[in-house]
Structure 1
Amino acid sequence: MKSNRGQILIQAIVFGSVAIFLLGALLGWASLNIKAGRQAFNRESALQIAEAGIDYYRWHLAHAPTDFQDGTGGPGPYVHDFRDKNDNIIGQFSLTITPPPLGSTLVTITATGTTSADPSISRTIVARLAKPSFAKYAWVLNSEFVRFGDTAEVFGPIHSNTGIRFDGRAHNAVTSALATYNDPDHLGSDEFGVHTHGNSLDPGSDPLPPSAVPNRPLIFESGRQFPVPAVDFAGITVDLASMKSNAQANGVYLANSGALGYRINLRTNDTFDVYRVNSVVPACGPATWSISGETFIQNYPNPANGIIFVEDHTWVSGQINTARLIIASGRLPDSPVTRTNIIVNNDLLYTNYDGSDVIGLVAQGNFYVGLVSEDNLRVDAAIIAQNGYISRPSYPSSSCGPTRRRTLFTSYGMLGSNLRPAFVYSSSNGYQSRVYIYDANLLYGPPPSFPLTSDQYITLTWEEK
């Protein structure tokens, strides 16, 4: 009997120990789950607080679009309490604001959120915001119909406020504000707002409206759309006046030359040379826009605000290296009889093609490539001809010499022309091949003071760090 009682006691002790062990393990497991749940809750709360920091600064920029110091006038980080609906502080977010580089609108906001319940837990979000610029197309055209020949190749979107005949090869979308129009290059009925007469890869003209629009991917690789909303050219005049004021205040301003204009030669050491243009090659019909005599004036450092404004015709050449510049040419107040032009006859180049090199050329009148220009000419720039056209004038006479026929014109950037552009007229007159490449960096990183299409920031990227 005593032996049985001893065995029962031993069994009770064993089972009790096991029960205590299991209960302890269960309590430990429950405690860990509660702790993990609390940590998960705090981590999620910290993320939401960080996101609230991003939302707060988006709101701040909507009311103070050029304030990148959170209204303090001093460096960050900028710490804000985060409160619940009962006005209790339940956490904080800390903001670091990286302002846009010169000429860009790209703002980087880094927000780190923490909770009062567990300050050791933090979550960080990085958001990039920007305003879109006028430079969203490889070509944007305003008030006259335009034709791209069968040797034109365009890498980037094309838009016209009027009609487009496109016979080359478009690697991106081609759009027009018109549903139909009567092409002035030939007699006949109305045609589609964007239409083609074909090329060697896909010969034959489009059918006439109201027929269905054919796909034609060998010409329109990314399709065509019409009608779409028109692009506003009118606001560029205001921006030209602003550029002049900014150049006079903190840039480089060149008054009327008293001669034919200026030549600006950009250099890779963050300076540029200025020459006074004294004479040009005699006209052989149209003006040649080609320099025959000039005088060196001065070497300038690139201006702090990146703006060069010239109240005269301006020839531009050279190369930059990690510079962001805009060269504007105009006489204000605007008058059709005094408008000035920008001319590029020699290569205008970037060193870097990652967005760190940017050139803007804004002509009050026209952008020209003259008679004596490079046979293979490359222009790296965002170009706007505010009231005129982007063009190489026609030099039909043999008296103009061999340079009236050129081989290849390449544009890297964007081109905006108020009037109809033209670079080729015949097999002996103009650039026989044209390649237009859109620089996507320009959309949110345009040249300084370049026109914007919106005054509102949009979110480009949002990621947890």
Structure 2
Amino acid sequence: MILVGVVAVVGLAVVTLLQLQQREGRRLGQGEQVYHVAEAGIHYYRWHLAHNPDDFTDGTGGPGPYVHEYRNRDGEVVGEFSLTITPPPPGSTIVTVRSSGRLNGDPVGNRAVVARLGIPSLTRYAVAANDVMRFGSGTETFGEIHSNNGIRYDGIAHGLVTSACSTYDDPDHTGPNEGCVHTHQPDPNAVFLGGRQYPVPPIDFNGLTADLSVLRDEAIANGIYLTDSSAEGYHLTLKTDGRLDMRRVTAMANCSTRRNIFLPWYPSYSVGTESSFTYLGGSSLNVPIPSNGVIFVEDDVWVDGQVNGSRVTIVAARDPLTTGDAQMIVNNDLTYTNYDGTDAIGLIAQNNFSTGLFSEDDLQIDAAIIAQRGRAGRYYYGVPTAFGPYYSPSGCGTGYYNRAVFTNNGAITTNRRYGWAYTDGTGYAIRNLNWDADLQFAPPPFFPTTGSFDVLNWDEED
């Protein structure tokens, strides 16, 4: 009798344990199902933003939370997810979505996930171009490189190099067509450390005109908006106290050049004389950087200085926006204080973004750069010979033909062929193009974007 009783007790314990394990299994299974319901909410809203990128109210126009039924494969309603949406701050594309999932009759309760979604800016590329591109042996890039045309790359590329073309006739030499991403170095594997790929979808450069219109509206409403200077343009110096000095450039440095006797003279693109002016009834010096970070100038612009905690986008563009020719020039260092994403500078030139003759020998530009209709690079200032180039007054460019190091910490977008160096050895001997990953989804204010919403990060909420 005692033995039978012991067996009965043990048997009951085993049955009870199995029942508990089954219940725990069902509980865990239901917990995973609830998690999938919450996940479905994130996927749904990413789909919604792909079709309505400016809608952060789930199509209702009113406040959330926004509740949706969740159906299984048979179309049966088995639960729901509830969305809480935090729109992007001004000038950003990052939206935060919290999705809480629940199963009908589930004793476990809700589970929630929080995701940050953002549209990649043009700053996703270290260099993006709409023209044929050549990167010389003195170039080293970190980050992706893309061109809508062909690319010859003879330096070192640490990121993926892509092209939108399928065949390429390199204009720099004769011979048969080559790959759209190719090198003239003996070992391609030592060049394309991040790989290469073509064809890939192109970047829409024409769409940048609409972005200029948005930036002008923002500058007029809440930023700094400067009309034509009736002179050479403006010189803006950013400062670490969150302010800037604005000066009117009355004359460029007196030094012009031309390649040969058949071509016109072009200037030094360096500031000669300048003066402050009256701005909003006061001085144009020591003006606060606007809260929305947008400065729009309807003239040529020289920029330099340093920021500390500021995020700013500067535009040089004239009417009409589709065909204007405003340029931007940086001849002296333009740098961050903080390299953790706190500081951000965007520089958008309607035509060319350039460095002039009297640029620093070791020039650093911490910024995302766009040359919307023109090129990004240094103007050609060659060593004078009897057959050109020529300088006026004679000898005015002596000592400035060859520069040492150009460094960009940010990103460069150029419509036409870029270049800070030339095959005759003039320009910048070393070019360091360092992609700033912090700018990809947290670009400068109102900076142009490309593509659709991507998931930046995804976490379960405790």
TM-score (norm 1): 0.83
The equivalent of 2:279 in structure 1 is none
**CA–CA separation in structure 1 for the residues paired with 2:312 and 2:237:** 13
**CA–CA separation in structure 2 for the residues paired with 1:416 and 1:174:** 14
1:46-195 paired onto structure 2 within 5 Å: 46-62=34-50, 64-68=52-56, 78=65, 80=67, 82=69, 93-115=81-103, 117-118=105-106, 121-143=109-131, 145-195=132-182
Corresponding residue to 1:390 among 338, 356, 376: 376
Instruction: Give the deviation of 1:265 after TM superposition.
Output: 1.6
The equivalent of 2:261 in structure 1 is none
**CA–CA separation in structure 2 for the residues paired with 1:258 and 1:139:** 34
Tell me the percent identity: 45
Corresponding residue to 2:212 among 219, 240, 252: 240
Range with greater deviation from structure 2 (279-288 or 110-119):
110-119
**CA–CA separation in structure 2 for the residues paired with 1:63 and 1:178:** 28
SS of the residue 2:202 aligns to: coil
The equivalent of 1:359 in structure 2 is 345
Corresponding residue to 1:224 among 192, 196, 204: 196
**CA–CA separation in structure 1 for the residues paired with 2:439 and 2:428:** 26
Listed one character per residue, the Cα deviations across residues 297-347 of structure 1 (whole Å, up to 9, x for unaligned) are: 2433333332211100011112223333211111121475x5110111111
The equivalent of 1:295 in structure 2 is 275
**CA–CA separation in structure 2 for the residues paired with 1:115 and 1:368:** 59
**CA–CA separation in structure 1 for the residues paired with 2:51 and 2:201:** 28
Instruction: Give the deviation of 1:132 after TM superposition.
Output: 2.3
Count, aligned residues? 434
Q: Are residues 1:376 and 2:362 paired?
A: yes
Instruction: Give the deviation of 1:55 after TM superposition.
Output: 3.2
1:398-409 paired onto structure 2 within 5 Å: 398-409=395-406
The equivalent of 1:262 in structure 2 is 234
Instruction: Give the deviation of 1:82 after TM superposition.
Output: 4.3
Runs of 4+ in 1 over 4 A off after TM superposition: 69-76, 81-92
Listed one character per residue, the Cα deviations across residues 39-64 of structure 1 (whole Å, up to 9, x for unaligned) are: 22431332133223323433443454
Instruction: Give the deviation of 1:134 after TM superposition.
Output: 2.3
Listed one character per residue, the Cα deviations across residues 72-116 of structure 1 (whole Å, up to 9, x for unaligned) are: 77876x263646579998655444434334433222322233445
The equivalent of 1:459 in structure 2 is 455
The equivalent of 1:8 in structure 2 is none
Q: Which has the larger radius of gyration?
A: 1
**CA–CA separation in structure 1 for the residues paired with 2:15 and 2:198:** 69
Q: Are residues 1:45 and 2:33 paired?
A: yes
> In angstroms, what is the RMSD of aligned CA positions?
2.9
Q: Are residues 1:331 and 2:318 paired?
A: yes
The equivalent of 1:306 in structure 2 is 293
> Is the Cα contact below 8 Å between 2:57 and 2:85 reproduced in 1?
yes
> Is the Cα contact below 8 Å between 1:272 and 1:299 reproduced in 2?
yes
> Is the Cα contact below 8 Å between 1:81 and 1:89 reproduced in 2?
no
Cα 1:82–1:225 change in 2 (3 A) is closer
Cα 1:141–1:34 change in 2 (3 A) is closer
SS of the residue 1:293 aligns to: strand
TM-score (norm 2): 0.84
The equivalent of 2:427 in structure 1 is 430
AA aligned to 2:272 is S
Unmatched runs of 5 consecutive residues or more in structure 1: 1-11, 203-214
The equivalent of 1:412 in structure 2 is 409
Cα 1:392–1:51 change in 2 (3 A) is same
